[in-house]
Structures are given as structure tokens and as C-alpha cells.
Structure 1
Amino acid sequence: MHVPSKAGMACRKFLTLLAGTLAFSAMAASAYAQQLPLFDAHMHYNVEARSVLSPQQVIDLWRKTGIRAVLATSRPNDGTLDLIAQKAPDITIVPFLRPYRVQPDRHDWFSNAEIDAFVEKELQRGIYRGIGEFHIFGKDADAPFMAKIARLAKARDLWLHAHADEDAVERILRHAPGVKLIWAHTGMSTPLDKVEQMFAQYPNIVGELSYRMDLEQDGALNPRWRALMTKYPNRFVVGTDAWVTPRWGQVEELAAFYRRMLGGLPRDVAERIAYRNGLSMFGLEEERSTR
């Protein structure tokens, strides 16, 4: 009969203790993540949603879900104005100018002279912190109006929010080097090697994470995403992207998904991606901390 040595028994005891400690740490991280406030950096209160949800119902949903700040856009911009008018003291609303009046504008906004005039008029409100979300792909990003928007954003210290492939993103950044850009869906299907390459090359890109179907692996945060988020903890934000009305019914589920994924990160990184990055991008962190 084999009798374990004292060293072997001690080793097994240590490994058992270590496994228990790691399991407890994972549970603690997961429990902590469930309490994280969120900055929703991609939402749309479009005309279709406004016919179903009142501004107060939207505010109540955010309050219930733990969404404490939002990057607000709508088609047309009236939806964003309605949300601001609620003056909810516990919800910070960061308004962006969306260059769409009606749904078809998404297809030709960058070559439509009427949109040029529309954007100029909307900017006169003096409330917007950025322009977008807009859709642009490939060589369309070299359209004169897209170049104008990029340079205008750089000159006025506005953010751009681009639903774009990596080709279009790089073209935009060539028009206005240094312009601040939120990359909707972080390219959605852009390979992670390319994402990492672009983050290294362009420090003014922030990746928004909605619809990145590869975030999750086996019910937890994909290790490749974990490495990328740990490497660039100040460069990611979360978003619900309620681009169609039924998705508003998924906001609570999406918030729970993000918190579950963030539970796989160190606490400070999870906090940054959940809400601190969004606040600091718009100079709001100090303001919120004093409330």
C-alpha cells in the first residue's frame, strides 16, 4: 500500500486550499460585478421607441437596471431632447447629434447636402458632446462631408461615434488626426488581432462593446478579450444599442450580461469599463463623485 509522503500531503493540501481561494475570489468578483453601475455608451431613443415608451418610462428602466449615465442619441434628435427635459437628478445624459432625420438617411447621409444643413442647424443648440452614431464603410469615409465632419469634431473637441469597418475608421482618422472616436461595436466582427493593432496605432479610439458576439466563451469572458481589456483598461465602454424597439425589452438582460463578463476582470478594470471610462471621456467623473 502506498503511503503518501508528508511533502505530497502538504502539496495536495496547498492545492486544495488554493483552488478554494481562487473559487472564493471568483465568486466575490462576480458578486461585486452585479452591483456595478453602468454607463450606457450606445443607446437610441428613436421615433418608433417613443411611440411605445415615454421618456419617464425610459428613465425608470435605467434606474431599475443600474444605468447611471447614457450617451444619448435618437432619430430624429427630438428623442434625446425629450430625455434631457426629464432632468433626472440621478441619471447623467450625454447628448450626441445623430445626422439622421429619418431611417433612409443612414444610407446616404455622408453625401446628402440636406444633412449638411441639418447638422449645422442642430449644432447651434450648443448641447452636443459628439456626432453619431453614424454608419460609414470603406471608401465612403472619403466623402467630402465625412471629412468635414471629422475636422469639425476635432476643431470643436467633439467625439465621433462611428459604426464602421476598420478601413473607414482609418480613413476618418486620416482626415482629422487626433479626433476622438468611439468605435461602435468595436468593429462588430473585426478580428481581435486587427482590433489590437488599431488600438496600438490610434490612441484616440475607444471601443464600444455591443454586438461583439465573441465577448463570451463558455459562459465567461473570452480570455483574449480579457487580455485586451487588461492591456487597454481605459479604452472600452459598454452599450445596449436599442436600435429597434424590441431591444428595449432586453436592456435588463444586456446589463446583466455585461456585469457577468466584467466579473472576470480585476475590480479596477471592471469599474473603468462599466462606467468610469464613460464619465472621464466627458469630464464627468469629478462631477459625479461630488453628488
Structure 2
Amino acid sequence: MRPHLRPAITTIGLLLALPFAPASATTPIFDAHLHYRPAVTETFGIADVARTLASNEVRSAIMMTPDPALMRRLQAGTDTRLVPFLEVSQRLGRKMDWMHVEDLGDRIATMLDTSEVRWQGLGEFHIMADDRFAPGFEQLLDLAVERDLTIMIHGDPAVIDHAYATHPEVRILWAHAGSYAYPPLVRDYLERHPRMNMDLSMRNPRINPGGNIDDDWFELLLEHADRFMIGVDTFTAHRWKQYTRLKDETRAWLQQLPDDVARAIAFENGERLFPAR
């Protein structure tokens, strides 16, 4: 079924008719998944970051970096409002074993306390189901609740369930709409965990195969329009250099949604969840 013929579903699930109007190609963006690491500065400098974000109408963004000094340089060097997330897992261990580092919570607390950056989140943390009971993960959840920080998790559904079973107050941003980004599962988890939101980075091929938005994704995005954000996931210099193309792939499916839904997902949700401080 073509997008403009589908019934529009409001965020509270009522079947109300919404007018279809394509989102403008200049609609602002809140990018919920950016990385900028010291190694990238050698081939893609801060001026390149600033120019890329400005030319793509990125008004605000979550920026993850392990280096407080680099974050301050980014904030000073771009007009885009950056929401700072401290990316610590690879400073404490390797990407997949950080949760086994001794005294992890204390170590991260020290990083936060000794930094001049006003961090609003932690992550991205990669964690699979087998590690969800690790003491380091419990310490991370404790710290996030105590400090009112959002955690970005790249992990399995069982990780999310465990986090909310032990820390129901925690705020989680589930990267890439989870490890298994199938609409029925995504819907189930949005309904289970009302304090969790999702970024849709890396999911353009699933959402918009062949240039036509998938029917199940279309209905899900309308049904939970207040819970999704977009992102590019600039985990390498190559991804930064491909930013415009990747952003345009995202805009291609946003433009097939009703305008109010597209605006919510493109930037309104991010700016509501992470307001200027």
C-alpha cells in the first residue's frame, strides 16, 4: 500500500486521519547518534564536522566522544547544539568487555567529576545478553540513575529487560532500534518500557527497502511517533565523509510520512528529550 493511502495512527493509537504532506528537504535534524574520536581528527577535522552538520540542517545532535577536551573544541567550533555523551567503554577496556572492569562505576564517576563538560549521557555501550548480569553493568545503571544521565545501549532485548527490572527509573536510548529491529519486537519493547526511546541509525535499508517505506515500519512510526529519533552513526571517518548521502537516505523515508510525524522523528523528539541547558 502506498504511504499516502495508509491510515494514519496517532501516537496514542487512535485511528485519526492525518493529512499527508511530505517533510521538507530542509526540515531541521536532531541527530541522535554521532561519534567523534581523536583518531578521526587527523582526516576529518572539527571544521569539517561543523560544515557537514550545518549543510545538512543538523540543529542539534548527541555527540559521543571519550575526550572532554575534544568535546569542548567541538562545542566551540560548531553552531550545532551538541548534547555531550561520555564514551568510556574503550577507555576502560575493549568494546565488548567493559562491563567486567573492576570498580567501573567509581571510575566513570571520577571521569564525570573531573571534567569541565556537562555530560548528559553515557555511551554507546555494546552489551550482549550473556553479560547483562555483570557487576559493571549494574554499577553503570546505578550511576545513570543517581546522576540523571541517559545511557545509549547497543545490545540485545534481554539486556533492556534486565536494566528495567533492576532500575525502572533509568533512561535508555536503544541504539539502532535494538539488535533485532523487526517492527513487532520493537513495538513490544516500546510498550513494555515507557522510559526507553530508540534511535534509527543504520536502519534505512529495513525501513525503506527499494525506496518505498515498509508497511509495518510505516504503521509503527505513526503509532509511536514520539519515541523515535534519527541518526547517522559516524563511527569512522568514512561515515563522516558519507554523512550527506546517509542523511539523504533517511530523509527519503521521512518524506513518505505525514508531516507532523516526520518532524517529530526528525528533530522534535530529540529536542524535547534533550532540551538546551
Category of TM-score, reference length = shorter chain: 0.7 to 0.9
**Match runs of 1:61-76 below 5 Å:** 61-76=52-67
Amino acid aligned to 1:80: M
Check if 1:83 corresponds to 2:77: no
Q: Does the aligned pair in 2 maintain the 1:215–1:221 contact within 8 Å?
A: yes
| Percent identity of equivalent pairs | 27
Deviations 1:136-172 (A, max 9, x none): 1103121112112112212222111000111111112
Deviation of the 1:96 alpha carbon: 0.6
Farther off after superposition, 96-105 or 234-243 = 96-105
Which residue number corresponds to residue 168 of structure 1?
159
Q: Would the aligned equivalents of 2:232 and 2:246 in 1 still touch at CA under 8 Å?
A: yes
Alpha carbons 1:39, 1:70 under 8 Å: kept: yes
Residue 116 and residue 150 in structure 1: after superposition, are their counterparts in 2 closer, same or farther (change >3 A)?
closer
Which residue is equivalent to 1:99?
A: 88
User: Quick one: structure 1 residues 178 and 84, their matched pair in 2 at CA, closer, same or farther if it must change by over 3 Å?
Assistant: same
Q: Select the structure with the greater relative contact order (CA < 8 A; seq sep ≥ 6).
A: 2
CA distance in structure 1 between the partners assigned to 2:193 and 2:244 by the alignment: 33
Q: What displacement does 1:104 show?
A: 5.5
Alignment of 1:43-192 (within 5 A): 43-86=34-77, 88=78, 90-102=79-91, 105-113=94-102, 115-124=104-113, 125=115, 127-192=118-183
Contact 2:44 2:237 in 1 (8 A): no
Aligned residue identity for 1:277: N
**SS of the residue 1:203 aligns to:** coil
Provide the secondary structure at the position in 1 that maps to 2:88: coil
* Counterpart residue number, 1:244: 236
CA contact (8 A) 2:105 2:143 kept: no
Q: CA deviation at 1:98?
A: 1.1
Counterpart check, 1:270 vs 2:253:
no
1: CA distance, partners of 2:90 / 2:131? 20
Q: CA deviation at 1:207?
A: 1.0
CA 103–253 in structure 1, closer or farther in 2 if over 3 Å, else same: farther
CA contact 1:40–1:67 (8 Å) conserved in 2: yes
Where in structure 2 are there 5+ consecutive unaligned residues? 6-19
1:170 and 1:145, CA in 2 relative to 1: closer, same or farther beyond 3 A? same
1:235 correspondence with 2:235:
no
Q: Distance in 2 between matches of 1:205 and 1:114?
A: 26
1:99 to partner: Cα distance: 1.5
Give, in angstroms, the shift of residue 51 of structure 1: 1.3
Deviations 1:44-76, CA, capped at 9 Å, x for gaps? 101221111221221111001111111010244
Query: In the alignment, is the contact (CA less than 8 A) between 1:209 and 1:236 conserved in 2?
Result: yes
Decide whether aligned partners of structure 1 residues 211 and 51 sit closer, same or farther in structure 2, where only a CA change above 3 A counts: same
Q: CA deviation at 1:100?
A: 3.0
Normalized per residue, which structure has more helix?
A: 1
TM-score (normalizing by structure 2): 0.86
CA contact (8 A) 1:97 1:131 kept: yes
Letter in 1 for 2:83: V
Q: Is the 8 A contact 1:36 1:259 kept in 2?
A: no
Q: How many residues in Structure 1 have an aligned counterpart in Structure 2?
A: 257
2: CA distance between counterparts of 1:248 and 1:138? 30
SS of residue in 1 equivalent to 2:251: helix
What amino acid maps onto 1:248 in structure 2? W
Whichever residue aligns with residue 270 of structure 1, its letter is: A
Q: Which deviations, in whole Å up to 9, do the C-alpha atoms of 1:2-41 show, x marking residues without a partner? A: xxxxxxxxxxxxxxxx99xxxxxxxx834x4312111110
